[in-house]
Amino acid sequence: MKIGELAQRTGLSVDTLRYYERIGLLPRAARAASGHREYDASVLAWIDFLGRLKTTGMPIAGMLRYARLREGGPATADERRRLLETHRDAVRAHVAELHACLAVLDAKIAGYAGDAQVETNDDHEHPSPDALRNRVARPLGG
């Protein structure tokens, strides 16, 4: 498929696709006789995976490291797994932090919903996200 179709199917701009190819996140595309890039449909799954890494906060440098290891084939499987495990641990920690922040927001909203006289400057009265994280991590009723 041509780069325009790839852009349409992935939601990435043509410029982003060219940039990803230039820095090595995407493999070099074959060229048609006209000189236009011709991408194999298999690149769609790779772009989807890169999007998930990006969404979960992996920096481009980490994605590039993974891409280079991927090019190394099966011999790099253990290193790729370790890289993804480290990233997964960081994502889990971030999710826990977000849950703690949601608990603070829920408590604040509940306070406003239950009492129209709630002080609007009482933000200091809520526990820190670290304190809430310990409560959030426990099962309900426990």
Mean predicted confidence (pLDDT) in 30-42: 90
Q: Answer yes or no: are the C-beta atoms of 6 and 17 closer than 8 Å.
A: yes
Digit-coded pLDDT (tens) for 99-115? 999 999 999 999 988 86
Instruction: Decide if pLDDT at 137 tops 70.
Output: no
Mark 32-50 as b/e (b = at least 16 C-beta within 10 Å).
eeeeebebeeebeebbeeb
CA dihedral of 51, 56, 58, 64, whole degrees rounded to 10? -20
Q: Is the pLDDT of residue 132 over 90?
A: no
Contact status, residue 63 vs residue 84, Cβ threshold 8 Å = no
pLDDT of residue 35: 87
Q: How far apart are CA 42 and CA 47, in angstroms?
A: 9
Please classify residue 125 by burial: count the beta carbons closer than 10 Å to its beta carbon, then call 0-12 exposed, 13-18 middle and 19+ buried: exposed
Residue 12 pLDDT > 50: yes
> In residues, how long is the chain?
142
Domain boundaries, the chain: 1-71, 80-142
Give residue 128's Cα distance to chain centre. Answer: 25
Q: Per CATH, the architecture of 1-71 is what?
A: Orthogonal Bundle (1.10)
